[in-house]
């Protein structure tokens, strides 16, 4: 590889890094600004840590949203994985009436825009008294989370030879033993990829969190929408920027943790 090509790659990598980190830097700088005001088209920052104290200290508005986001995202990720693992195995290893149509229907649920479900969900959730609850919001996310996790895990399962399972059955393995001792270890990359997409969707989703919650179960994205919508009463730029920056950290941490599985997922699976 020539020096010129290496230099071009370095320049391209730097440009991509600048494009990615500039919004994060701007958000972080606004979170440390005491007066997020506009002066002749430029932001004038004054160093101030009160916004971070406001979102992390005590049991205030922002801290409640962060806790709600963690609860909802973790629960949605766990439930979707538990449901998708056996469902994907059945779809890839057994044939039954309407299996392909059912699998396609799962995908169409993910393709549908969330606004289509907003009015029915709002009416049903209020009728069931699960509006503005954690489990109500998690239940709403299942319509989108389960199809994606099934599709990801099924794409990996199709790459596992059936001969491995047949050999295990000959050795006296039951289906439960086969799934626990052979299939699950081979599916670690798929589980990592599915966990990432399921968690990030629930963590960053804003529409359902705004429609199906009010105060008790409102997550950070819905709180940010509310904070940035107070145009007539003054926008809380500092706390909103701090909360927005905090909302990015868990996703980056999870991405770093499963980066190996994510790379394997794109290399070995059909993603």
Residue 42 has pLDDT above 50, yes or no: no
> How does pLDDT run across 78-132, given as a tens digit for each residue?
999 999 999 998 888 888 887 788 888 877 777 778 888 888 899 999 999 999 9
Question: What separation in angstroms does the CA of 84 have from each of 98, 103, 152, 161?
Answer: 18, 12, 9, 20
CATH number belonging to the domain at 58-268, selected among 2.30.30.40, 1.10.3720.10, 1.10.357.10, 1.10.10.10: 1.10.3720.10
- Percent of the chain at pLDDT exceeding 90: 19
Q: Which whole number is the average pLDDT over 11-40? A: 77
Q: Which whole number is the average pLDDT over 2-30? A: 86
- Where do the domains of the chain lie? 58-268
Q: What's the pLDDT band for 39 if we cut at 50, 70, 90? A: very low
Distance between CA atoms of residues 239 and 20, nearest Å: 22
User: According to the model, what pLDDT value does residue 126 have?
Assistant: 92
Q: 94: helix, coil or strand?
A: coil
Q: What's the pLDDT band for 139 if we cut at 50, 70, 90? A: very high
Distance between CA atoms of residues 132 and 124, nearest Å: 12
pTM reported for the whole predicted model: 0.80
Q: Which whole number is the average pLDDT over 60-66? A: 82
């Amino acid at each position: 590889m020539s020096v010129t090509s290496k230099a071009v790659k370095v320049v391209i990598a730097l440009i991509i890094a600048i494009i990615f980190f500039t919004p994060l830097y701007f958000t972080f700088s606004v979170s440390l600004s005491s007066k997020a005001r506009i002066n002749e088209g430029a932001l004038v920052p004054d160093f101030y840590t009160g916004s971070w104290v406001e979102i992390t200290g005590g049991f205030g508005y922002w801290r409640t949203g962060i806790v709600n986001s963690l609860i909802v995202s973790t629960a949605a990720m766990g439930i979707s994985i538990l449901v998708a693992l056996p469902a994907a195995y059945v779809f890839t290893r057994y044939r039954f009436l309407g299996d392909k149509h059912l699998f396609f229907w799962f995908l169409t649920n993910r393709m549908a825009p969330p606004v289509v479900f907003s009015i029915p969900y709002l009416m049903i959730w209020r009728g069931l008294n699960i509006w503005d609850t954690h489990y109500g919001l998690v239940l709403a996310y299942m319509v989108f989370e389960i199809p994606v996790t099934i599709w990801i895990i099924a794409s990996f399962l199709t790459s596992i030879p059936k001969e491995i399972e047949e050999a295990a059955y000959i050795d006296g393995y039951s289906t439960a033993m086969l799934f626990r001792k052979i299939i699950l270890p081979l599916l670690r990359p798929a589980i990592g990829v599915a966990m990432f997409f399921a968690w990030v969707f629930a963590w960053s989703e804003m529409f359902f969190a705004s429609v199906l919650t009010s105060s008790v179960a409102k997550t950070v994205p819905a709180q940010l929408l509310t904070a940035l919508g107070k145009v007539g009463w003054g926008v809380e730029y500092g706390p909103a920027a701090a909360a927005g920056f905090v909302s990015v950290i868990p996703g980056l941490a999870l991405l770093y943790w499963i980066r190996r599985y994510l790379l394997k997922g794109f290399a070995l699976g059909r993603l």
